[in-house]
Amino acid sequence: MPDAIVTDGLTKWYGSKCVVNELSLRVPEGCVYGFLGRNGAGKSTTIKMLTGMVHADDGSASLLGQDVATLAPEMRQRIAYLAEGHPLYSWMTIDGLMRFTRPFYPAWNQGLFDQIIEHFQLDRKKKVKHLSKGQVAQVSLALGIAPEPELLILDDPTLGLDTVVRRDFLESLIQIIQKKGRTIFLSSHVLGDVERVADRIGVMVDGVLRVDCPTDEFKQSIRRVVLSFDGPPPKFSGCDGLVAMHVEERRLELVVVGLGDSHHTLFAALTPQPRTVDVVELNLEDAFIEYTRGSRRAVPVFSGD
């Protein structure tokens, strides 16, 4: 399967700080890719380099097989970008925005635009400055989807929206995803949304891509292990895949990547022995928090097919 997005050693410096460090990434066509990381991890800078708003200091990137530095207008017509905060001309009406945007896209699907506007029950004569944040996001979605793009790049599209509007937005996004061959590259802080729609995720930590694997594989690879003792826990020097460790009066909590038989053998050999060993499965949000919250130890790197 060909790749919709490819980066090779993509790097960006701001002064003495490397905000994106040799990013090499492949997003297959038809994939929904969740691009995750804490604030300052390099997500938005990466997206700006992909969309040509920021030039890389090193490395390369291509969208739909063409270098982003030389994207032809006809190629840009096949790509949609929804920016964080959904910046639109505040003095324009919804219909005015539609008339302004439509001539740039020969494949503009007016019926699809109308369908989205009607679905969200938006007043087409209203100016953007009189719309709520949720309504502005809905207009942005309609404008981004009407050109029938093959690739959608979404930078935190539901940030600041209330729960109901965010769910409606996501449901519409799911319907769009179901169209054969469409690729979505989604950066979001709402991990529940990502878990629901993403086939694959990447996790940036301090400008470095530390995770690139199927979403379920990431969740299944990280476990919280709670060891309970009759008295104070013994000193624990560590184990393979240890991400974080927390000691309480009679409990030792570990977060481990790739928990296996060797770990359980190690736990059983502790002195004193644990009274119970409980393994807790994590959803995507909890797994992401545990993986990226910071630790005294190096974060394990893993990837999958």
Helices (H), 180-283: 191-197, 215-221, 261-268
Q: Identify each DSSP E strand in the chain by its residue range.
A: 3-14, 17-28, 32-37, 58-63, 66-67, 79-82, 151-155, 183-187, 200-205, 208-214, 222-228, 242-247, 251-257, 276-281, 302-303
Q: How far apart are CA 145 and CA 142, in angstroms?
A: 5
Kindly give, in sequence order, each residue whose CB lies less than 8 Å from that of residue 51, ignoring residues fewer than 6 positions away. 68, 81, 153
CB atoms within 10 A of CB 111: 9
Burial class (CB in 10 A: 0-12, 13-18, 19+), 269: exposed
1 band by pLDDT with thresholds 50, 70 and 90: low
Tell me the per-residue pLDDT of 230-277, one tens digit each, with 9 for 90 and over. Answer: 999 999 988 999 988 889 889 999 999 999 999 999 999 999 999 999
Q: How far apart are CA 153 and CA 34, in angstroms?
A: 10
pLDDT attached to residue 197:
86
Q: Which amino acid is at 65?
A: G
Mean pLDDT lowest among 206-210, 230-234, 254-258, 288-292: 288-292
pLDDT attached to residue 298:
46
> What 8-state DSSP symbol labels residue 195?
H
* Structural domains of the chain in order of their starting residue, each with its CATH number: 3-206 (3.40.50.300), 218-298 (3.30.70)
**Rounded mean pLDDT, 76-83:** 89
**pLDDT exceeds 80 at position 220:** yes
**Rounded mean pLDDT, 137-157:** 90
pLDDT attached to residue 98:
96
pLDDT attached to residue 270:
95
Beta bridge partners of 80: 152
> What 8-state DSSP symbol labels residue 127?
B
